[in-house]
Amino acid sequence: MSGISDVARIAGVSKSTASRALTGSGYVSEQTRRRVAEVAASLGYVPSTSAVSLATGRMQSVAVLVPTVARWFFAQVLGGVQSALLERNLDLTLYEAPPGTQERRRILEDFLPRRRFDGLIAVGLEPAEGELEQLQRIGRPVVSVVGATGPSSLVTVDDVHAARRATEHLIALGHRFIVFLGGDTDDHFAHVDRLRLRGYQEAMADAGLAAHIRHVGSGVSIPEGYAAAVDLLGETRARPTALVAACDEVAIGAIIASRRLAIAVPGDLSVVGIDDHEYAEMFSLTTLRQLPREQGRAAVDLLLRTIGDPARAREELLLQARLVVRSSTAPADPAPAIAVSDTHPPR
């Protein structure tokens, strides 16, 4: 049977590095961690239970709280978490429930306090509802992915910046009638969508387009984006020349709606999303790319380091989304521009 020495030798690292890589109990570069994990897997090496317990606590399980697995972003984060946990021989306990539901309250009040896990990854917490504070009281390490900034470590894309970049891209193409589409339904306005709306508003104001700021709410799935876009674009007099969508799903819904209404994208309407969803390529969508799978993996790294060293300082991994230009955006038609004074009050 192979031991940690064999793994270290073949991977070309020290024994202590190999051990850290396999238990997640200290810093190792992602590249090294992968190489060590591959070597360990190829040799059939399994860290002894006691060594793993030392690093990760006695339950050998990490809990994941997520609003839903039925959306691309959350499914990707969950996939990254699962994959990183498998490499470290840890189980994943799933708690899935949308914000504001009875099921979510039960998870927070009945399930999580049982502490049947060594640490918790909380995806998309809603700070307005004090969820992070509730989780802190449970007494297990918590790492947040998107959402609440607080005493826990956090992995997130810079959402304000991403929406700013999306908006600036359209402004640079000459657009002024730019609507922010998505977020803010009757019963829910997710923290992440608030941040993105703010990035749009800031970019518009900075460009002297405060008078044109306009937010049209909708849920953030493709069908909800589609329905909201049909309403918005069907109204020909007030039609914008460009949309910043709260996420790619809303952007794709808007493109499907445009095709239905015979509005050419990007000829009549430019659309930019945020995500780089698996369907983005198929719809030639210009978007701000984030890598949710990597966010899930990074959250596992951060969590295991915190479990290994509870005195460790809080970390914030603020990632920058990158603009990917495809063909859903194009220069604005200069003809219909209407002079707008900066003295108009923002709505």
Footprint on this chain of a copy of itself (rule: CB under 8 A)? 41, 46, 60-61, 64, 68-70, 72, 75-76, 78-79, 82-83, 86, 89, 91-97, 102-103, 106-107, 110-111, 116, 221-223, 226, 253, 256, 259, 278-279, 281-282
Nearer to a copy of itself, 95 or 180 (CB): 95
Which three-class secondary structure state does DSSP give residue 121? strand
Two tokens, residue 107: 């998870």
Nearer to a copy of itself, 94 or 318 (CB): 94
Two tokens, residue 88: 């470290």
| Site of tokens 């700013």 | 164
Nearer to a copy of itself, 11 or 213 (CB): 11
Nearer to a copy of itself, 3 or 346 (CB): 3
| Site of tokens 């200069």 | 334
Q: Write down the least CB distance from residue 109 to a copy of itself, Å.
A: 9
Q: Write down the least CB distance from residue 113 to a copy of itself, Å.
A: 11
Q: Write down the least CB distance from residue 282 to a copy of itself, Å.
A: 5
Instruction: Confirm if 35 and 22 have CB atoms less than 8 A apart.
Output: no
Q: Write down the least CB distance from residue 39 to a copy of itself, Å.
A: 13
Q: How far apart are CA 314 and CA 320, in angstroms?
A: 20
**What is the rounded end-to-end Cα distance, in angstroms, of the chain?**
69
Q: Kindly write down the DSSP assignment for every residue of 150-213, as one continuous string.
A: SSSEEEEE-HHHHHHHHHHHHHHTT---EEEE-B--SS---HHHHHHHHHHHHHHHHTT-GGG-
Q: Write down the least CB distance from residue 124 to a copy of itself, Å.
A: 15
Q: Write down the least CB distance from residue 284 to a copy of itself, Å.
A: 10
| Site of tokens 């521009």 | 337
Instruction: Confirm if 212 and 237 have CB atoms less than 8 A apart.
Output: no
Nearer to a copy of itself, 231 or 309 (CB): 231
Instruction: Confirm if 138 and 154 have CB atoms less than 8 A apart.
Output: no
Nearer to a copy of itself, 195 or 304 (CB): 304
